A and B are shown apart, each in its own frame.
Chain A
Amino acid sequence: MTSNAGHFALVVGVDHYPDFRPLKGACNDARAFAQWLGHPDGGALPAANIACVLSSDPPPKPIHEEIDDALQALKRKVREATIGVEARRFYFYFSGHGLGIDNRSTALCLPRWSHERRMAALDFESYVRLIMGWGLFAETVFLLDCCRVRLISGGGLASSLASAAPGDETSKSRSFIAYAAEFTQAAWEGAIADDAGGEEVRGHFTTALIAALSGAAAEPSGGVTAARLKDYIETQTPLIARAKNQYQNAEVDNGLSALSNPVFGRARPTGTCEVVIHFAPTTHGEVVVEDGQLNELRRGDASSGPWRIAVRGPTRLAVRRPPDGPEISVRVGAESTEDLHVEF
């Protein structure tokens, strides 16, 4: 399978904040995203095109210069690696603490951040300007799984890298910027089931992001369009947060070309999901189950339950008592089996 030799990525995950509140899931998130980037059905980036910077302590790292070093090294690779191919897309992913400065500016906190070292952070806006200003990439994708709360005055450090002048193709560089939270709001993390049957802590935003890119938001032809990714992240992140009794609304600014409608990865839509509908002992009589397009999937007496119905998730089902009885509308995820308990 061909790889996207013209795609590059800087992935940063920061769990270690020795003088602030440590996080548990930021490095997990960064690893998960880096894994998607390198997967043949994911971003399909050659391993050499991905720089993954994860935090450690002691000493608290990365520092500002290490992020810039990684970016500089990537920029050098672009020239070498894209001979004969078009340098097309750059991914910038950050997971850690963040502070909203205003609606446009966010400070991405580095491990040394504390109430005293309020500037020990990356000035996100300057990194957007820098990477887009290179003019090397038609598409620049920024994904920030961090808070945008305002607690105190502070800011971030601009990149020490700079271009003497905007790159030749800067005018054609478009951006996709996804924030885990709206300005002044918090982003959260919580435990989710891991592949080994245990649990690991992950950010709600990255959980939605990875689910979308892994097929939950995929097109039948494969891959996730930028427009669909925006919708998915914005609609699903609040649901994931609400399941943990938290509020979190992601904000996605899709500035990529609507004409080319870029696609992320090659994942196929999530497979069939089996829904098991259990009726309460007090529920009797005829019941109808319909899919999201109101096609009838099953009709029968509730006493014949539980019913096993195969659907392609995520979708909605209507369970109702015909002809004009009560109706419930339920959201079905992309998990392999879901149990619904119905009582009329």
Chain B
Amino acid sequence: MSNSDRPLHTLTVRVPEPGLEVLVLDAEDRIVARGGERGEVTASLPHGLYVVRTRRGGAFVETPVRLDASRSVVAEAPPRSSAATVPGARTTHEYYTYPAWHLSQHPTAAAADWSGPADASLLLFVRAPEREAFTGADQLAGLRLCTPEGATVAAFADDEVQRHADGWSAYSAMLSPGLLVLEDEGVQSGHALPRQFPVPLWPGRQTQLFVMHHGRPLWEGMHMAAVSMHALATRDRRSPYDSGAKDVRAALEIDAGLLALQNGATEAAPRLVEAFLQSKFENPVLGLLGGYLLLLRAQSARARGAPASSAEREQIGMVLDNLSQLIPDSADVIALRLMAEPWLGPQAPRPVTGIPLFRHGAEVLLRAAAGDATWLPEGGWLDAVSERLYADTVWTSWAPPKLRVSLENPAAASLSAAPDWVEVAVIDAIAAAERRESPLASDELVRSIGVSPRAVREAMGRLVARATEPAEISQTMIRTSRVLGSPTTRDLVRTMGVHVGDDGLLERLRAQAEAAAVSATGPNIHHVYATLKKTLAGYADQQTGRISADTVLDDLLRPEDAEARRRLRRRLARGYGGVDLTLSAEDLDGVDTLRDMARLIKDRGVE
């Protein structure tokens, strides 16, 4: 029976939560219907077997449907994993939920007023996926909390933290508000990378960091939340599983938002913005997540040619205004305002000395700085770490500037010895532009590498300085010097203000590279022929008017004219930089064309 002969039934699919992607597949696994923005599906389909596939992030689950009559089906939700102990996640266990809930109210360490009164709070909760997976590792090894200047605020010593056989470790304390750095030295496994994160501390709020640990802290999936002290004060009378409570609901929304931002699933934006609205604009993490998703969604619609509506403009303006009031000095808010320019109009560049919590914000600021360096003043936080940023998480994180190399930290040793990747990228980009014979503007170069203008300028300065130092001749050295001496580099050096000493240095580098190439590889037949052609140009003008590799020498020079031959030998010696080629009459008799003559000269080791 063909599809057209089979009776049609209506299939209605509802989803247990918004933000799920829904597909309906027929028995042959053809996609016959897709969920709309809210995931729900209503489709008229032929009698048969179907499957409803629902997806969140990478995880999916299938619900079989027998469509022998019109049916309404509630699809299953895929299992959710979260570092946070949020209700409903398959990784949420009572033996983690209750300790985390308790420690959010009861500090494990003394208050640290590192910069003013300690009226903010931090909870760091590191846990295994489940207690059976806990290997007994020290989950906080190599971690410390420090100021941006590097002074240690907490080293997570035994008297500052709690550890438990179920596989969790925690630190909580009252701290001064501001931006701290959480550093992981990367000592916990062979794959751990040394890394630093900004940790915001807001007055009257607790910043909560939940991190899954599996061999090492999995920073990629870190959950960060901000909970008001007022909400914390009521926790001893509430259950951590009460999804209706504002702080628990916010944690669930943040989880969904982080997953959406990680996957570019901007359909979650309205839900996040609504949650921010319902929090009365009190939750900065929720607000920032909602803001990024809202603007990414608006950018995507704009790229498809959808016209901007006044409602969209108002919503963007409302979210940004409230964030500006809530966290006025936040680098994320400045990045969001930059993203909002198509809707809210341009703004004058303003120097950003801080660093965004979200990597997307860091990338927006770096792109802006490629066109106008005012955005990132030299020595500012983001400028200083731009060439060390990681991109494997939604959070801004970077390799520490000075790694404490030790036997326990081989990864740090290898990173310290590694060549500077920005230098390699600069050389590659300029070489590619030279090959294409197309100009390379400084903003294009900076944007293509994705770091700050300062990082590129300094890399170019280091390259030039290193190229002028005595070094063994190598193909890398020759290539680098050739690229540095290219017209593209000379333009970039001028426009970016790279200090290179005297004006002729770059041209000399190129000449040195060519000379080094000769000494490394022997004379180049093309160079020999080019010089020969130039030297004989006068003869050609007098004789045939044209000259090529196939030109017969006797056409230029009669064999019986001894004086002309003597003059030729002298002229060749001058042409090849005063080198006595010692070409005898027999030598000249033995060559037929100019190609033969070039080979003869090359064989004498002259270029």
Which residues of A line the B interface, CB within 8 A? Answer: 103, 115-120, 149-155, 157-158, 160, 162, 182-185, 228, 231-232, 234-236, 238, 242, 247-249, 290-295, 314-318, 327-329, 331
What secondary structure prevails in chain B residues at the interface with A? mixed
Contact of A234 among B31, B59, B390 (CB under 8 A): B31
Mark contacts of B390-430 with chain A using CB atoms, 8 A cut-off: 1 yes-contact digit, 0 otherwise: 11100000000000000000000000001111001100110
> What's the least CB distance linking B273 to chain A, in Å?
21
* A153-B450, A295-B1 known, 16 other contacts, Cβ within 8 Å: A115-B418, A119-B424, A154-B421, A155-B425, A162-B436, A182-B264, A231-B30, A242-B60, A249-B58, A292-B26, A292-B27, A292-B48, A316-B49, A327-B66, A329-B66, A331-B51
Contact of B6 among A183, A293, A317 (CB under 8 A): A293
> What's the least CB distance linking A16 to chain B, in Å?
19
Q: B residues within 8 A CB of A247? A: 57-59
> What's the least CB distance linking B382 to chain A, in Å?
13
- Closest residue of chain A to B394 (Cβ to Cβ) is A184
Q: B residues within 8 A CB of A238? A: 60
Q: A116-B421, A294-B68, A295-B1 are known contacts. Are A162 and B47 too (CB-CB below 8 A)?
A: no
Q: A residues within 8 A CB of B66? A: 294, 318, 327, 329
Q: B residues within 8 A CB of A182? A: 263-264
Mark contacts of B77-109 with chain A using CB atoms, 8 A cut-off: 1 yes-contact digit, 0 otherwise: 000000000000000000000000000000000
Q: B residues within 8 A CB of A152? A: 389-392
Q: Which 3 A-B pairs have the closest CB atoms?
A: A292-B27, A247-B58, A329-B64
- Closest residue of chain A to B55 (Cβ to Cβ) is A249
- Rounded to whole angstroms, the CA-CA distance of A119 and B419 in the bound complex is 13
Q: A118-B421, A314-B28 are known contacts. Are A185 and B263 too (CB-CB below 8 A)?
A: yes
A-B contact pairs, 19 of them (CB 8 A): A115-B418, A117-B424, A150-B392, A152-B390, A153-B391, A155-B448, A158-B436, A160-B432, A182-B264, A235-B53, A247-B57, A247-B58, A293-B6, A294-B49, A294-B68, A314-B28, A315-B27, A316-B27, A329-B51
Q: B residues within 8 A CB of A317? A: 49
Q: B residues within 8 A CB of A318? A: 49, 66
Which residues of B line the A interface, CB within 8 A? Answer: 1, 6, 23, 25-31, 46-49, 51, 53, 55, 57-60, 64, 66, 68, 262-264, 387, 389-392, 418-421, 424-425, 428-429, 432, 435-436, 438, 448-451
> What's the least CB distance linking A320 to chain B, in Å?
8
A293 engages B389 (CB within 8 Å): no
Contact of A150 among B46, B53, B391, B425 (CB under 8 A): B391
B390 engages A119 (CB within 8 Å): no
Q: A residues within 8 A CB of B429? A: 119, 157
A153 engages B451 (CB within 8 Å): yes
- Closest residue of chain A to B437 (Cβ to Cβ) is A162
- Rounded to whole angstroms, the CA-CA distance of A115 and B419 in the bound complex is 10
> What's the least CB distance linking A288 to chain B, in Å?
12
Contact of A293 among B1, B30, B55, B450 (CB under 8 A): B1
